[in-house]
Amino acid sequence: MAEKKNISGSEALIHCLLAEGVDLIYGYPGGAIMPFYDELYKFQDKLQHILTRHEQGATHAAQGFARVTGKVGVCVATSGPGATNLVTGIADAMIDSTPMVCLTGQVPSHLLGSDAFQETDIIGISTPVTKWNYQITDVKEIPEIMAKAFYIARSGRPGPVLIDITKDAQFAKADFTYAPCKQVRSYKPIPKLDKTAVAHAADLINQAKKPMIVWGQGVILGKAEEEFKAFVEKSNIPAAWTILGVSAIATDHPLNVGMVGMHGNYGPNKLTNECDLLIAIGMRFDDRVTGNLETYAKQAKIIHLEIDPAEINKNVDVDVAVLADVKESLPLLTSLVSAKPYTEWFAAFKAFDKIEFDRVIKNDLHPTKDGLTMGEVLKEINRASNNDAVIVSDVGQHQMIACRYAAFNHSKSNVTSGGLGTMGFALPAALGAKMGAPNREVVAIIGDGGFQMTIQELGTIFQTQAAVKVVVLNNDFLGMVRQWQQLFFDKRYASTEMVNPDFVKIAEGYFIEAKRVQKREELSDAVDKMMASDKPYFLEVCVEKEDNVFPMIPSGASVSDIRLS
Amino acid sequence: MQKKYTISIYTENSVGLLNRVSAIFQKRHINIISITSSASEIEEVSRFIIVVSMTEEAVKKVVGQIEKQIEVIKAFYHTDEETIFQESALYKVASKSLFEERHIQNIIKASHANIVTVNKEFFVIEKTGFRHETEKLYHDLAPFGLLQFVRSGRISVTKSPMNIKALLTKLND
């Protein structure tokens, strides 16, 4: 990186971004970040800026970009409301370990604490939801802090970093040199692999009769898909996934036994409480995965491969913890394990699969009733995309259906708000995903509720012409809440019914080609037409209003108490 | 079973870190009994001493979350038996008591407290020790009228060694 003499803080920020390989950022200008935008104007050919319609959209777009590329997503906002509007996306990125750097403008340093126009303490506000944050008041700090921000965001267990920069530091001038950050002395991103622990884990695996793998996003974040596949195939152990882990190996892989958790598959949930060894890989035993911890896999020995020491024994006490980057620990573990046929064990999964198919899946994917199901829409999307689309889902019933039924051939193909459950995530995240993976088909699956939380990002999609395929599964309800009201609150549908506008007209108002499907016989052609388009496309599918998602582990129940109806 | 634990945190000396550390307790609805922050034995490294009442299982997890913070170098938790700990208290009393009540001088002497300052209006006593000692002095002095009273958070050192310097060298390798 060449040295620059006497450049502004704003220009320095841009050189930092370029040095980190950033060529695309999302944001929204405003008073305290204007010097940066002014400089950005001069660097348009090197650094593309996408103007979202709300700062929250910028964060989710940056997240979508990060999730499909594995790179750090970057978003920018002004001080005050611009900064506070980022908070939901930052919290989402924190809980889903998404690498992101957020830049916020701040009032000039001499006004800090004076309740100046658009002043807010974004450092204080964002502290609990950032991996790290820092306020720059001195132009000379910019290169070092920005290098540190990117290093922290992407290393170890990734996460969001917020850098707040006072307006005077953007204007002030200083000489500039950039050196990438290689370490922070108080921060150890990757624990040193303990080979004894791996040997101990291998012993347990080699002794097991009914072992089961549950993998999470750690496999994808660790770029260890190949190493993971090799481990699964050599050990011949049935492997189930969390919704952030799915797509690390193909859906139709013979050892892939499906989804765990509240709306996961019947077999892996039931058999969690029958296995004799649970091998957790890059997952964090979220309550939506474990159900009641008092009755979760109590009969099993548990091995946990994990990069974050704070996750060990946090929710589930484990017998062997392998603290390391899975890319490093998995090959060693693979070399020490031997395969067994586990014939009866696999048959147990198959038997539960059959029950689930007969009781749930058949009706979801091949319905005989009149109303359209969400499942059949997913089935059509799988068909039309050859199981190869990036599926970006929002939060609710459609999300669970998308995670259950979307089929994947490639890693980094399922983008959803897992931990935080942020409605409104999918539309902007799909935009970011499409820009990160322009050669792939990106389909957003959104409910009528979540769609209206960030609906204005249709404007960004129109302006960028990013060929996102937006599918709204409309049941005129906040469907998941309604489902809970039906099952647990005696059908008191408090504030869950939605009187919706004409979504097709709204999309058309943004000059996006749009279609509504109300009948089964129209669905297949409509999906084909959407997929054939090389432009943004909007498809509303009016689905059965009061369908429920099953199987379901009721809140607080045991994984083995999973219900089929 | 809840028990008193002393959490000891070595950190970089940076703006906002107190907020980051206290947010971890707030998120879990844990009340902090006392907190102090000061320099440590290593230049530019700060040390927090936080006293909480929790189960060991919970304190272990909290320490894990604290240690995860980027600017935290190392965090430990200890029981009272594993540490040497003290608190300091200051007692401001009207000067006429000192001169008119002979008994008060005996109290000061017996409690091994120090008189920090005396002037015409008031005098200030300092007592460093265990909680029950500073509390006893409080009760003994109360009848004479305490104009002001304040007690510091706990400060403590561990009986076992804390090789933070070695750890820092290792982190820097």
**Where does residue A348 rank: exposed (0-12), middle (13-18), buried (19+ CB within 10 A)?**
middle
- Low pLDDT (below 70) residues in chain A: 1-2
CATH superfamily of the B3-78 domain: ACT domain (3.30.70.260)
pLDDT of residue B172: 63
Residue B67 near residue B2, CB atoms below 8 Å? no
Of B27, B64, B171, the CB nearest to A128: B27
CATH classification of the domain holding A71? 3.40.50.970
Q: For residue B84, what are the β-bridge partners? A: B157
Q: ipTM of this model?
A: 0.93
Boundaries of every domain in chain B? 3-78, 85-151
Picking from A421, A418, A372, A412, the residue whose alpha carbon sits closest to that of residue A545 is: A372
Count CB-CB contacts under 10 A for residue A159.
Answer: 23
pLDDT of residue A2: 67
Looking at the fold, whether A149 and A237 belong to one and the same domain comes out as: no
Q: Do B73 and A135 touch (CB under 8 A)?
A: no
Chain B residues touching residue A128 (CB < 8 angstroms): 20, 23, 26-27
Of B11, B12, B16, the CB nearest to A127: B16
Q: Do A123 and B16 touch (CB under 8 A)?
A: yes
Of A128, A131, A183, the CB nearest to B23: A128
Looking at the fold, whether A82 and A148 belong to one and the same domain comes out as: yes
Looking at the fold, whether A14 and A162 belong to one and the same domain comes out as: yes
Range of the domain at A34: 4-176
Q: Do B61 and A127 touch (CB under 8 A)?
A: no
Q: What residues of B are in the A interface, CB distance below 8 Å?
A: 11-12, 15-16, 19-20, 23, 26-27, 60-61, 64-65, 67-68, 70-73, 168, 171-172
Q: How many domains does chain A have?
A: 3
Q: Which of B57, B70, B164, B170 would you mutate first to test chain A, the one with the most A CBs within 10 A?
A: B70
Instruction: Give the active site residues of A.
Output: 55, 117-118, 167, 480
Instruction: Identify the domain boundary among A297, A316, A349.
Output: A349
How big is the A-B interface in CB pairs under 8 Å? 50
Looking at the fold, whether A512 and A403 belong to one and the same domain comes out as: yes
- Low pLDDT (below 70) residues in chain B: 171-173
Q: Which residues neighbour A428 within 8 Å (Cβ) at sequence distance 6 or greater?
A: A52, A56, A57, A58, A59, A60, A61, A64, A454, A457, A460
Looking at the fold, whether A206 and A97 belong to one and the same domain comes out as: no
Looking at the fold, whether A389 and A307 belong to one and the same domain comes out as: no
Provide the token pair at B136: 């006893």
Is residue A184, in this structure, part of any structural domain at all?
no
The fold of the B85-151 domain, in CATH, is Alpha-Beta Plaits (3.30.70)
Instruction: Report how far residue A154's alpha carbon sits from residue A433's, in angstroms, rounded to the nearest whole number.
Output: 18
